[in-house]
Amino acid sequence: MRHHLQIIDEICQELERANLCYELKSLRNEVRHPCTSTELIGGVCSILLKMNEKVETRNAVGHLTREFDDYARQLGVFAEASKSYSLTRKEFEIDGAEFSDLKGFFHVIGQQLVNNNQWGRNWNAFNDILVGGFVRTEYGEPFKLTWKNSAISRQELVDYSDIVELIKSHDHIELDLK
């Protein structure tokens, strides 16, 4: 029986070969979580079972998903398809014409990323909502953020460069400045 990390590595290779970038990033982000082996196996299995609901993913790695699930079950880890993992990459949009200062930016970004826009509205809290895990995205879940009218923000928003730099430091976020 192969080790779970060997199976995960092969799944990643197959996802890359099939150009399933969102799925690959999601799986890699799950593997990066600091956790025990049992938690890792359960989390990965849960995501793989959910990914398996998508035809393209099932065609690419369905056999490996079954192998991983069998491996998990032999260890006594029984997983169900994730209820929180999205089969498609989530996308959010903000408009630079709607704010001109950091307070306004925090309000607009919070409307997109945080349920009920309830969050700390400071730099540490902003980093936390980008990481995900307790908002509209799962921890490390890849998503796209489109910033319309970013040229307006570049001119009016003093903290524009710092905001963009922080967003880009999260490799699970695709930032599209329009």
33 versus 87: which is more confidently predicted?
A: 87
Residue 76 has a pLDDT of 96
Residue where a domain terminates, one of 21, 46, 74? 74
Backbone angles phi, psi at 173, to 5 degrees: -110, 130
Residue where a domain terminates, one of 29, 49, 74? 74
Residue 121 has a pLDDT of 94
Can you give the residue range of the structural domain that contains 19?
4-74
Q: Are residues 116 and 163 in the same domain?
A: yes
CB < 8 Å & 24+ apart, contacts of 105-114: 105/153, 105/157, 105/159, 105/163, 112/136, 112/145, 113/137
What CA–CA distance (Å, rounded) separates 166 from 21? 22
* Residue 97, both tokens: 């014409």
Whether residue 81 lies inside any domain: the answer is no
Instruction: Please state, rounded to an integer, the average pLDDT across all residues of the chain.
Output: 93
Q: Report the domain count for the chain.
A: 2
User: pLDDT digits over 71-124, tens only?
Assistant: 999 999 999 999 878 888 899 999 999 999 999 999 999 999 998 888 999 999
